[in-house]
Structure 1
Amino acid sequence: MSAHLAYALAWAAFALGHSGLALPAVKRRLRPWLGRRYRLAYNIVAVLQVALVMAVGGFALGDRPAFALPGWLAAGMGVVHLVGWGLLLWAARFYDLGRLGGLAQLRGESEDEGLRLDGPHAYVRHPLYAAGFLILWGGAFNPLGLATAVWGSLYLLLGTWAEERKLVALYGGAYLDYRARVPALLPWRGRVPPPG
């Protein structure tokens, strides 16, 4: 099996497992067993899955040399990478990280935190995914980085699609209005103030 195919299959297994565990039918079956620990368990499994994917990538492609990039391109990619991390850190400030990680649910709090329209959400609907794209493509300096950017981007696109469906089901017309005004990933409209 080729190194690229092995890495692609590892990403596919992660995508199926991670997305499968988020399906409502799977949640309904696991909740009686896991209860309030579901979200925390989901995140622990995700971290283990990503670690396995990265291990497969490192084993399959980690020994490949870096691309011979012109200095201006390498510098630009480095800037994109850093901007991605900056966006990720900024966006994280607008989420309840205890709720996102599953710790708030252990205290009996609701899983959903409400529709966010402020901070980075006034520019794009999915700031964490936008940051992910920047981090991935800014780090594509070698075959492993490029393969990670390709497969990670595909996963983020599928995740964006699934997240959109979930948010429409959760927030209905309020989310549809937000979606009509604010772009998903590229802030081409600039800051879009909330209605009213």
Structure 2
Amino acid sequence: MTIEIYIATLAAGLIAGAYMLGMLAWSAVYPEKRTWPPEHATKGIKFRVWFMTILIFAAAFMLGVLDWNRFEGPSTIRWGIGVPLIVIGNIAVWNGVFKIGMDATSGEATGLKTDGLYRWSRHPQYVADITILLGWGVLAASLWALPVLAIGFAVLAVAPFAEEPWLEEVYGDNYRSYRMRVRRYI
């Protein structure tokens, strides 16, 4: 494998992550001028956000495959921890998507959800996505994937700070009461 493939994949993942991190940080610092959740969730905005998110995950996956087990970790630990984290994360994230729907997952107001996984976490989908990335990091044990995994973690950790002012604006006292009862992550 040529080094150019590694570098191009790494660059794609880091650029997508930087784009998402910048957009989310801007929205968290300037909620009145937020870019996420969007004022109007157009197909273009939804496409950009989903494309960049998928690009982060795809780059981490590809780099993990290309640089498989660079750290030479024991396979029983890698498979025994990594695969369950990936499976649990996928079950949780897809449960969240089906619970709140694709429109809400894409930044639209569709009603405040406080049951299911949302009883334990205000942002279970972000927690689940972090779990998936963590599981992949353990399983792949790849040096090249680490920077993309790190920016993916950062994006997912910052996203609630961009969303919560909007949630409070849209759902008011219901959200404030919910926020007091339920932790941000877990």
TM-score of the superposed pair, with normalisation by structure 1:
0.69
CA distance in 2, matches of 1:64, 1:39: 37
Choose 129-138 or 53-62, whichever is displaced more: 53-62
Residue of 91, 96, 102 corresponding to 1:91: 96
Per-residue deviation, 1:17: 4.7
Match of 2:50 in 1: 47
SS in 1 for 2:99: coil
Structure 1: gaps (5+ residues): 103-110, 187-196
CA RMSD of aligned residues (A): 3.4
Per-residue deviation, 1:120: 0.9
CA distance in 2, matches of 1:65, 1:118: 39
Identity of aligned residues (%): 22
Match of 2:19 in 1: 13
Per-residue deviation, 1:41: 1.4
| CA-to-aligned-CA distance 1:17-66 (integer Å, 9 cap, x gap) | 57669965477xx98xxxx7x43211112233345556766888864342
Equivalent residues in 2 for 1:3-152 (5 A)? Answer: 3=7, 6=11, 8-17=14-23, 25=33, 38-50=41-53, 53=56, 63-66=66-69, 67-74=71-78, 75-98=80-103, 100-101=105-106, 111-140=108-137, 141=140, 142-152=142-152
Question: Is the Cα contact below 8 Å between 2:61 and 2:136 reproduced in 1?
Answer: no
Structure with greater contact order relative to length (CA < 8 Å, sep ≥ 6)? 2
> How many pairs does the alignment contain?
170
**Which residue identity lines up with residue 179 of structure 2 in the other structure?**
R
| CA-to-aligned-CA distance 1:50-103 (integer Å, 9 cap, x gap) | 45556766888864342312234211121111100011121122113245458x
Question: Is the Cα contact below 8 Å between 1:8 and 1:151 reproduced in 2?
Answer: yes
TM-score of the superposed pair, with normalisation by structure 2:
0.72
Structure 2: gaps (5+ residues): 1-5
CA distance in 2, matches of 1:21, 1:46: 14
CA distance in 2, matches of 1:14, 1:81: 22
Give the number of the structure whose alpha-carbon radius of gyration is greater. Answer: 1
